[in-house]
Structure 1
Amino acid sequence: MLRLHTAIQENNNSKIDDNQMKNIKNIFKILMLGGLGFLGNSSYAQNQAPGGPQGKAIALTGATIHVGNGQVISNGTIVFDKGKITAVGDASTNFDKTNTEIINVSGKHVYPGLISPANQLGMVEISAVRATDDQTEVGAINPHVRSLIAYNTDSELIPTVRGNGILLTQATPLGDIITGMSSVMQLDGWNWEDAVLKKDDGVHLNWVGYFKRELNVETFTFIQKKNDKRDEQLREIDKTFNDAIAYAQIKNPFPVNVKMEAMKGLFDGSKNLYIGADYAKEILEAVQFAKSKGVKKIVIIGGEESLSVADFLKENSIPIIVNTTHRLPNRPDDDTDLPYKLPQLLSQKGVLVGLGYIGLNWRTRNLPFLAGTVAGYGMSKEDALKLITSNTAKILGIDEVVGTLEKGKHATLVVSEGDLLDMRTAKVEQAFIQGKKVDLDDKQKRLYRKYAEKYGK
């Protein structure tokens, strides 16, 4: 291509003879054909197109409907039109059968689309390839960083996740202290503008701990070290919030400070402050700090030792998004199964609890099975379902449109052959996002079909 460009430049001031022009045209043809071939091979490997708008009312009949608020409807009917649920009830539910596509799903289970909070799905494809990793911004204080513009709807990981019933995710930036703003995304769309459900729902703060974990590359284990910069980092957080409070009191600031502008919503209740904290003392410190600065809505993320301060969280109406329960406890003298019981124990204390696969983008596909494990340690199946549907929707501020299967809400739901929280029976057969039917094929299924054909099933 460089030689072709040079040849044309050299002949700009002279007449190009017929043979030269013929050669140039032939080169262009070769390049065009090669490009089209490349595009053809690339498109073959791309994900399927997003679902189109709902063209006709749809009724799912005969299923067991798990509403998401604890209610279960046997032999139920759910009707939705133009992306919204118009009726939910038992077999006697009335609807216009003439102008409705009726899908018999007898023996199946219908659930609200599951919600994955505090996750980097769609923001990183291959962690070892820097060009596909857009989850972290440079710098320690970045409240203005917006995760939604980094969200990649063409990610190969997204279809594998929604195949397990997860239809919504909270795209959350990582970083040092104040990491940026998250947004709630739907797992289908041509671009982030199509996929976004709630823009900039909150600012994320990693509370500065007394200790920090470092990876020992020789033993491949984490070791704890004292955080010698803690006082300095706390002063920086305090200064940032004080500046944000002063800025929020200015009616028409000029020039606009994008960092301070991003934090204004914390003081009028339009944005959540999500605080990453695990240790009990740090949770107390973080909440007290945020309340002293006038932050209206506070959410704790992680909370490994949150049970020790559950009464404090309840008194201050602080919800918590518990990290993955498939792990060992933080303290060696804790019960081995404490992480499995933690959501139930917190709920018994009156704390609003959501459940997440925090920070592990592709592993969030196992989110329903985390809830299933919680159900095996004292919590009922329907209450465990709330952890990944209605409870999380309330915490993220999207419960008016999703989280439960109720009239007027978005038709964002899944049809499973069996219990969605049990990996032995969960098999998502259909999924709808705002009434749009989602193609449940993905790269892993395509590879399975390919090699099943080659080697035999």
Structure 2
Amino acid sequence: MKKILVSICMLASLMSYGQNPAPAKPQTKTIALMGGTVHVGTGQVIPNGIVLFSNGVITNVVDGTLVKLNLTDVDVVDVSGKHVYPGIISPASTVGLQETGAVRATVDKQEIGILNPNIRALIAYNTDSEIIPTIRNNGVLVTQAMPQGGTVSGSSSVMMADGWNWEDAALKKDDGIWLNWPNYFARDFNFEDFTTVVKKNDKRGPAIDALQATFADAKAYAASPAPAVMNLKLEAMRGLFSGKQNLYIRADYGKDIIEAVTFAKSAGVQKVVIVGGEEANRVVSFLKDNNVPVILSGLHRLPNREDEDVDLPYRMPGILHKAGILVSLSYADEWWRTRNLPFLAGTAAGFGVADREEALKMVTSNTAKILGIDNLVGTLEKGKQATLFVSAGDALDMRTNVIEHVFIQGRKVNLDDRHKRLYKTYKDKYEQK
């Protein structure tokens, strides 16, 4: 009996050691971050700033050399020599929807079927994911849970990187519908010689016909404020025609981008966002004329065409930004690399985005505007949620991004994660005494 009790205690101890930290408790006392370099997220930088927040809301952001505040009954945190940033926002992500790609039971990012606008990524979001604490440790505090699969994948929701369950973590529910535009070209990978063959997609005609019928039905359905019989698929698309929801279109080729946006506009969709956009540089004028923002997928890759400059993906944010297009950065399918999102902005700053603060906006305020949450997060301004972090150095540089404090809605978050636990485990084992 004693052996059984000892085994149970040891097992419980190991399980406790391997679990994520509990979600942070609500803020109870006003906090002031004093003396740090404050990156507001609008392009403004305050060298000796003070960020004051109470009850999870920012109450003041001022220059400490010009303004003196009454800090009675305030918890003062000295961040002199450090940098204060708004929480980085990860759009088009499957963090929280899948854990281990090779283990089917941990993957819940898509449903069976082709046209699934009624599927909600929201309810599949797993706040116990061990990936979530790792992204917090690089300053990624908000993520958009994105559905995948089929032609119309379902609706996404914007989630905070802290919470007991998806209800707690939800920042904006059902912010948009996701559409995988049928590509003009299809890519087939040849496993014999490890080459990719690009050919015309013969299946796109019927797929587009089905989309046209679905969107026509949805528009007609949305015209009735109270239909006699509710259709769950069409009901889920109602917000597309009133402007309450975005239509996120995954498209890469220039021809596909033009066709997809033209289709959406003709169908009556009010807000269109291109996701991926590998050839967005080829249709810059079209995107600008139609006021279409772009969420670029991972920049750390090679170009897809042999005749393109090898650094074209790195320069893409700068090309679009100079053309006046609203640009955001993401890792899309590479959910395990989401923690490196701030370094994509650092890459953009080194390859065409001359102003480093403009590059920061591509993972903060620009993303917030695209997702429709800029009234809540994305910048350090009075009235916004206190979702922010303190870094020992430049958050866009992987050499100096060392996160020391994280606050989500004013709640101070525990920065423990699986990476740190494993590092300590093997450091203790192999470090020379």
Same topology, TM > 0.5? yes
- Counterpart in the other structure of 1:387: 362
Give the structure-2-normalised TM-score: 0.96
- Structure 1 letter corresponding to 2:166: W
Residues 1:180 and 2:154 are matched in the alignment: yes
Structure 1 residue 43: Cα displacement: 3.1
User: Quick one: distance in 2 between partners of 1:100 and 1:221?
Assistant: 62
Letter paired with 1:150:
A
1:340-419 equivalence runs, <5 A: 340-379=314-353, 380-419=355-394
Is 2:157 the counterpart of 1:209? no
Q: 2:419 aligns with which of 444, 451, 457?
A: 444
Query: SS at the partner of 1:424?
Result: coil
Counterpart check, 1:253 vs 2:207: no
SS of alignment partner, residue 85 of structure 2: strand
2:59 to 72, 83, 86: 86
SS of structure 1 residue aligned to 2:115 = coil
Distance, in Å, in 1 between the alignment partners of 2:257 and 2:239 is 22
1:286: how far off?
A: 0.6
Give the 3-state SS of the residue equivalent to 2:164 in structure 1. coil
Evaluate the alpha carbon distance shift between residue 190 and residue 218 of structure 1 in structure 2; reply closer, same or farther with a 3 A threshold: farther
SS in 2 for 1:329: coil
How far off its partner does 1:330 sit? Answer: 2.3
| Aligned mates of 1:40, 1:136 — CA distance in 2 | 35
Q: In structure 1, how many angstroms separate the alpha carbons of the residues matched to 2:143 and 2:238?
A: 24
Mapped pair 1:305 → 2:284: no
Cα distance per residue 1:365-385 (max 9 Å; x no partner): 111111101111121210100
Match of 1:60 among 33, 53, 57: 33
Match of 1:328 among 302, 325, 332: 302
Aligned-pair distance for 1:39? 4.9
Unaligned segments of structure 1, at least 5 residues = 1-25
Give the corresponding residue for 2:402: 427
CA shift at 1:364, angstroms? 1.1
Partner SS for 2:61: strand
1:50 corresponding residue in structure 2 = 23
User: Secondary structure at the residue paired with 2:389?
Assistant: strand
Q: For residues 233 and 408 of structure 2, what CA distance do their matches in structure 1 show?
A: 33
Q: Does 1:267 align with 2:267?
A: no
1:99 deviates by 1.2
CA distance in 1, matches of 2:192, 2:417: 37
Shift of 1:220: 4.4
Hey, what's the Cα distance between the residues in 2 that align with 1:325 and 1:42?
37
Using the TM superposition, give the Cα deviation of residue 36 of structure 1 relative to its aligned residue in structure 2, in angstroms: 7.3
User: Structure 2 CA distance, aligned partners of 1:185 and 1:32?
Assistant: 40
Counterpart-to-counterpart distance in 1, 2:37 and 2:382: 17
What are the superposed Cα offsets for residues 165-195 of structure 1, whole Å, 9 maximum, x if unpaired? 1001110011021011000000000000111
**2:49 aligned to 59, 70, 76, which one?**
76
Aligned residues of 1:77 and 1:93 also touching (Cα < 8 A): no
- Which whole-Å CA distance do the structure 1 matches of 2:196 and 2:154 have between them? 26
For residues 403-433 of structure 1, the C-alpha deviation after alignment (integer angstroms, 9 at most, x for no partner) is 0000000100010000000111110111100
SS at match of 2:205: helix
The alpha-carbon distance between structure 1 residues 259 and 35, as it changes in their structure 2 partners (threshold 3 A), is farther
Give the total of aligned pairs. Answer: 430
Q: Quick one: distance in 1 between partners of 2:294 and 2:222?
A: 27
SS at match of 1:255: coil
What secondary structure sits across from 2:153 in the alignment?
Answer: strand
* 2:168 pairs with 1:194: yes
Point out the structure with max Rg over C-alpha: 1
Once residues 124 and 197 of structure 2 are traced to their aligned partners in structure 1, the CA distance between those partners, rounded to angstroms, is: 32
1:98 aligns with 2:72: yes
Q: Which residue of 2 aligns with 1:170?
A: 144
Q: Sequence identity of aligned pairs in percent?
A: 58
Cα 1:203–1:31 shift into 2, 3 Å: farther
Post-superposition Cα deviations, 1:71-95, rounded to whole Å, max 9, x if no partner, equal: 0000111000000000101114343
Name the counterpart of 1:3: none
CA distance in 1, matches of 2:426, 2:9: 27
CA contact (8 A) 1:310 1:349 kept: yes
CA–CA distance in 1 between the matches of 2:308 and 2:328?
22
Over 3 Å counting, the alpha-carbon distance change for 1:90 and 1:157 in structure 2 is same
Give the distance between the partners of 2:196 and 2:102, measured in 1 at CA.
20
Query: Alignment partner of 2:275: what SS?
Result: strand
Higher alpha-carbon deviation: 99-108 or 374-383: 374-383
Partner residue, 2:112: 138
TM-score, normalised on structure 1? 0.91
Question: Could you tell me whether the CA contact under 8 Å between 1:173 and 1:180 is conserved in 2?
Answer: yes
Assess if the C-alpha contact under 8 Å between 1:87 and 1:93 holds in 2. Answer: no
Structure 2 segments unaligned to the other structure (5+ residues): none
Aligned 8 A contact 2:184 2:255 in 1:
no
- CA deviation string 1:38-60 (max 9, x = no partner): 55543332101011000100000
